[in-house]
Structure 1
Amino acid sequence: MEILFVLGFFLMLLLTGVSLLGVIAALVVATVVMFVGGLFTLVFKLLPWLLLAVVAVWAWRYFQHADDRKLAALRRKISRLDRNSWR
C-alpha cells in the first residue's frame, strides 16, 4: 500500500510540472522526516520500559549491597566499642 502511495505521489508531482530532480528531492526529504518521526515515536513508546529497566537495575544494586552496608555499620560499632574498652 505504501509503495502505491509513493508511486502516486511521484506521478502526481510529475504531472503537475515538477521536475524529476524536485520529485526525488521531495521523496528524500519525506523519507528523512518519516524516519526521524518514527524514531521519536519508538523512543516515546519504549520510554516506560526504559525507566522500568533503570529502576530495576538500581533496586538490584541497592539490595545486593544492603548486606555490605549492614556489615560495615556493625564493624564500625565494634571498633568504637573496642576503642572505648581500652580507655
Structure 2
Amino acid sequence: MLELLFVIGFFLMLMVTGVSLLGILAALAVATAVMFLGGMLALMIKLLPWLLLAVAVVWVIKAVKTPKTPQYQRNNRRFY
C-alpha cells in the first residue's frame, strides 16, 4: 500500500513541477524498476538465513546418511 502511495505522490509532484507527460511516464517506469530491484534485494537478504539453514541441513543429512549397497556392488570405475 505504501508503494502505491509513493507512486501517486511521485506522479503528482512531477505534474506540479511541470514535467511533460512523456517524462512522467519514463520517470515512473524507472522508479518502478528501481523499487522492484530494491524489493527483490531486500527479500533475498531477508531469506538468506533460511536458505543457508536449508543448505546446511541437506549437507549434514548427506554427510550422515551412508549408502546401503555394499562396496562390491557400486559402480566404481576406478578399478576397471
Q: Name the TM-score, length of structure 2 as normaliser.
A: 0.73
CA RMSD of aligned residues (A): 2.0
Q: Distance in 1 between matches of 2:66 and 2:14?
A: 64
Q: Give structure 1 regions of 4+ aligned residues with deviation exceeding 4 angstroms.
A: none
Q: Could you tell me which residue of structure 1 aligns to residue 75 of structure 2?
A: none
The alpha-carbon deviation at position 33 of structure 1 amounts to: 0.4
Q: TM-score normalised to the size of structure 1?
A: 0.68
Q: Give unpaired runs (5+ residues) of structure 1.
A: 73-87
1:17 deviates by: 1.3
Whichever of the two has the greater Rg, that structure is 1
Q: Which runs of 5+ in 2 are unaligned?
A: 72-80
Where relative contact order (Cα < 8 A, 6+ residues apart) is larger, the structure is 2
